[in-house]
Amino acid sequence: MAPNLRFRFSPAKDGLVKVLGPLETEIMQVVWKDQPSTVKKVHRALAQQRDIAYTTVMTTMSRLADKGVLLRQRDGLAYTYTPALSEDDFVTLVVQQVLDGLLTDYSETAVDYMIDFLARNNPREFARLRQVINNHEVA
């Protein structure tokens, strides 16, 4: 069963920053590469690139756990963190939740726009969509 992630969607931003903040995205990139992880390990990795407080990393990782993006387990006096989903599964879930919301509330507009967008910007994907639709048609 997929976790029910809580996030905000900011379409003007790039990549995962659309749904996670910039620091949350950096933290998740570290944890996806090196898991299980601790605040200390993540802080050490981020501190190589910029000046960041240990407590900032700790608070952000705790918030990611509260959002359901990270799983947290006590290990002695510290916590270990693992991703709730792989990066690919996370992206898939986010896309599904965003599209579910758009298609539920604005189905006609969303579908028309997606078809228009693909026809203009990605003819290959548009052709693939046409094939998928043809394969789903009832005889």
pLDDT digits (tens, 9 = 90+) for 99-137: 998 999 999 999 999 999 999 999 999 999 999 999 987
Q: What is the pLDDT of residue 136?
A: 87
Report the predicted TM-score, pTM, of the whole model to 2 decimal places.
0.80
Would you say 39 and 80 are in contact if contact means Cβ atoms under 8 Å apart? no
Strand intervals (E) in the chain = 70-75, 78-83
Would you say 85 and 93 are in contact if contact means Cβ atoms under 8 Å apart? yes
Please report, for residues 35, 46, 56, 80, 86, the alpha-carbon distance to residue 93 in angstroms, rounded to integers and kept in the order given: 20, 26, 27, 23, 10
Query: Does the pLDDT value for residue 2 go beyond 60?
Result: no
pLDDT band at 1 (very low <50, low <70, confident <90, very high): very low
pLDDT digits (tens, 9 = 90+) for 53-92: 999 999 999 999 998 999 999 988 889 999 999 999 999 9
Residues 97 and 113: their CA atoms lie apart, in Å, by 18
pLDDT digits (tens, 9 = 90+) for 5-42: 777 788 888 888 888 989 999 999 999 999 999 999 99
Please report, for residues 18, 31, 122, 123, 129, the alpha-carbon distance to residue 15 in angstroms, rounded to integers and kept in the order given: 6, 17, 18, 22, 23
Instruction: List CB contacts of 110: < 8 A, sequence separation 6 or more.
Output: 99, 102, 103
SS3 71: strand
